[in-house]
Structures are given as C-alpha cells and as structure tokens.
Amino acid sequence: MSPAYALKRCGLIVYTLLVVSLIVFAITQVLPADAATMLLGENATAEALAAVRERLGLEAPVWLQYARWLGGVVQGDFGTSLRTGLPVAPLMMEALGRSLLLALLSILLMLAIAVPLGVIAAVRRGRAADLIVSVLSYVGVSLPEFVTATVFVLVLADWLQILPASGYVAPTQDPLRALQHLALPVLTVSVILVAHVSRMVRSELVDVLHSDYVRAARLKGMKPRTVLLRHGLRNALLPTITIVALDVGYLLGGVIVVEEIFAIPGIGRQLIVAIQARDLPAIQAGALIMAATYSVANFAADLAYAWLDKRIQYD
C-alpha cells in the first residue's frame, strides 16, 4: 500500500464522516419537536421557548446551525447535553473507551476460541467433530444475548460465585477487578461471535486445503502440520480479518443488551439514554463517534489484509 493511497483512504474516511454528520444533523432537524420544546416540555410558554431558542442559536438558518455544530465537532466540542447540562464529548469518549475495551477483549477471546474450532471442523470435515462444532456454534449464535448472559450469571456468579454479576471498574483504578467485572460480558459477546468466525474459518480452510498449492506442498513432502498452518490456515484467515472488522461495528452499537445486563456504561448504553431523553447533542455525538470508529476499524482491516497478502495492491 502506497503512502498516497493511505492518505487517500484517510481522506475518504473524513468524507464518510462528513456525510454521516449531515445525515445525523438532518435527522435532528426533521424531528417534529426542536431542542427547545424537548427541553421545556409541551406546555412551555411561547416566551420561554423563544428565550431558549435564542440561547441555543436555533433561530439561525439551518446551514449556519450546521456550520456552528461542525465547527465545534472538529475541535472536539459536541455541545452541551440537554439532559445533564455538561459537555457531551468527554462523556461519550469515556463511554467509547469502555466499549472499545469490551470489544477488544471479546474479539481476542472469540478468535482464541473460533480459529481452533474452525480448523478442527475443517480438518475433520464431515465427521463427528465437525458436526459438534457446527451445532455448538449455531447454538451460540441463535440464543438471544440475554439468555446467554443469564446462563453465565447463573452459573459463574450465582452458583460458583467466582465472578461478579455486574458493574464496571475502570482498569486504571484496579486492573484485576476490572478484568473480573469484564469477564462475564466478554464471555457472553464472544459466544455470540464465535459461530460467525468459526464457520468462516472452516469454509475458507476447506477451500484452501483443496487448492493446488496445498496439494503441491503435500507432494513436496511437507509435514502435515506445516501444510496446515503455513500453507492452509495463513491463507484461510485472510477473509476473517474483514469479518472481524465488521464485528467491531456490532460490538459498538449492537451489544446494548449486554451492556444493560452487566451495567457497563458503554457507548451503546449512553446512546440509548440519550435517545430516551431526546438529548440531541448526545445523540449526534454518539452516532458520529461510532461511525468514526467503524471507518477506522475497516481501514485497519484493509491495512492488515494488504500486509498479509502481498497480491493486494491498493493504488
């Protein structure tokens, strides 16, 4: 990948975010009630509404409101929360940090489970082990999160009492307790994702093991282990990178139920709170931050892919 291309991709990310910001801003504009009405309620007097509108700058033309908001955003200022009266940015960034930690640990655990399972299923294709892996991973993906989470809480927190059932501790405060608190949510999320990736690894590896170059490696007398790892798995894992990047998106927004059950104040939970409170600046910030994280994750996946597969040449 050439530096020029990397620069261009960064430009595209900015472009994407600009479009997202337009959409997010437009949605808040077409809502039937504006920020002032939401703040003061349906029964507010016309004078009070006008005063608040004056204070929030809602009287200005729409494009000027957008420009002001965007101007703040690029400086890291997403405005003031209508709910708490505090700046939105620090709140959302903290929440994002917690969600990213959850996401990262979940992905690591998921890979540690899913890749070996996929390899076993591919190597023992059509036999009992393949069937068991496939049934187990489908059970994992088809059970709703709250069921999986409840089972884990019941077994590990309630009966065995080895892990705390809920709550969040910042790793900067107490790393060990932080990990203990994260263990159950990470386990729950990983179980959901394992099916995805193990099926992907399995089918890719089955294809690769049937390829001419794997046959050539076998006929060169390479040991089965070398054939499987160096020639097989390495190539089979490439498409998995893309899947993992897509999962990042799910992990940021889609695990609200898990964050809710385990009382983790992640970005998904913050966004729900903001939507319930009609806290427009917080909603805008949450949506934009998630879009940015998602774009960066995909970019990182493309970089990793190009690094591992030299045929991929972005220009």
Residues of this chain that interact with other proteins (CB under 8 A) are 8, 12, 211-224, 226, 230-231, 234-235, 238, 308-311
Q: Which residues contact 150 (CB under 8 A, 6 or more apart)?
A: 261
**Upper half-sphere CA count for residue 220 (Cβ side, 13 Å):** 11
Q: How many residues does the chain have?
A: 315
Please report how close the Cβ of residue 107 comes to other proteins at its closest, in angstroms.
Answer: 22
Residue 46: strand, helix, or coil: helix
Q: Side chain identity at 220, as an amino acid letter?
A: K
Q: How far is the CB of 8 from other proteins (least distance, A)?
A: 7
Burial class for 98, CB neighbours closer than 10 Å (0-12, 13-18, 19+): buried
> Which of residues 138 and 213 has its CB atom nearest to other proteins in the complex?
213
> Of the two residues 49 and 241, which places its CB atom closer to other proteins in the complex?
241
Of 12 and 147, nearer to other proteins (C-beta) is: 12
Distance in angstroms (rounded) separating the CA atoms of residues 190 and 171: 20
Smaller CB separation from other proteins, 250 or 314: 314
> Which two three-digit tokens encode residue 241?
């990178």
Q: In the chain, where does DSSP find H-type helix?
A: 3-30, 35-40, 46-56, 62-74, 88-123, 128-142, 145-152, 175-209, 212-219, 224-226, 234-236, 238-253, 256-261, 267-276, 280-308
Whose Cβ is closer to other proteins: residue 103's or residue 208's?
208
Cα–Cα distance for residue pair 143/46, rounded to 1 Å:
51
Q: Which is nearer to other proteins, 172 or 310 (CB)?
A: 310
- Other CB atoms within 10 A of residue 67 CB: 12
Closer residue to other proteins, CB minimum distance, 222 or 292: 222
